[in-house]
Amino acid sequence: MSTQVTVPKATGVGYLTGIHLLADAALLWLGYYWLGIGETKTATLVWSAFVALMLACLTCWLEAATFAGFRGAPLPEAFRKALRHLLPVLLAAIAIAFLYGLVQRWADYSTQPAFKIASYLTLKFRKPVKPASVQRIFDAVLWLVRWMILPVFLLPLVSGAATRGFRGFSEIARQARAWRYWLAVPVLLVCAFWLPFRLLGWTPRFSSFTVEMVSFVVRLLAAYLLFVAAWLLLGYVTARETLMRR
């Protein structure tokens, strides 16, 4: 006997997209403001910590409401539910930041084992093995860990915490995801984070300063829209995949 799983339709997608277009811009401005706060005095240090906490809470609230909305909750209820479950979402965000910090530490350290492995292979095969060749293998593995393996397991955890609180943490242990999800996650993450920075970093040369400014504004707008669209689509496919596995 086959069991069919009904996946609730996401509600208020248009409104949610509009909220993200405005709220993400406000959060980016708040982050830019926080980076510019001096920490020379106790008062400014306390203010900097407060702004950082507010930035983290508002970001987690917005993203948790996004996951809840894509899992079928009406938009007002999605924000209320996300606010009730803000603590587990914050803890999940801290754990994710810690894990990615460890991955970055390993990326910084990987040059040493790459050099040792290259030296060992050179002695073993009597042929020179370049440390750069071994390093490329390390970089490829780290790329998969950063952009595929960790997100595939951690995004459903955040989605579950947003709608079910601490009980949602169990969704990290669900059975293996569909192969489409394993492919969609790195593609959408690259579109949300890597491509926008590449687009902003691309500086075509023009003879006129006005044309250069127009080019920058157009690229900035395109990068921002790409980020919002890819991140919302990632939230949708994560919510759908999580519900299908329940």
3-class DSSP string for 123-184: HHHCCCCCHHHHHHHHHHHHHHHHHHHHHHHHHHHHHHHHHHHHHHHHHHHCCCCCHHHHHH
Interatomic CA distance for residues 100 and 145, integer angstroms = 9
- The count of other CB atoms within 10 Å of the CB of residue 175 is 5
> Among candidates 157, 213, 220, 151, which has minimal Cα distance to 187?
151
Query: What percent of the chain is predicted at pLDDT more than 70?
Result: 91
Please report the pLDDT score of residue 143 as a whole number. Answer: 93
pTM for this one?
Answer: 0.84
Interatomic CA distance for residues 240 and 185, integer angstroms = 13
Interatomic CA distance for residues 39 and 137, integer angstroms = 41
Task: Look at residue 12 and tell me whether its pLDDT is greater than 50.
Answer: yes
Q: Could you tell me the pLDDT band of residue 125, with boundaries at 50, 70 and 90?
A: confident
> Among candidates 246, 245, 240, which has minimal Cα distance to 10?
240
Task: Look at residue 180 and tell me whether its pLDDT is greater than 50.
Answer: yes
Interatomic CA distance for residues 97 and 86, integer angstroms = 16
Give exposure, 207-229, as e/b (b: 16+ Cβ within 10 Å).
Answer: eeeeeeeebeeebeeebbebbbb
Structure tokens at 168: 């949602």
Q: Mean pLDDT throughout 148-153?
A: 92
Please report the pLDDT score of residue 4 as a whole number. Answer: 44
The separation between CA 148 and the C-alpha centre of its own chain, rounded to angstroms, equals: 11
Task: Look at residue 10 and tell me whether its pLDDT is greater than 60.
Answer: no
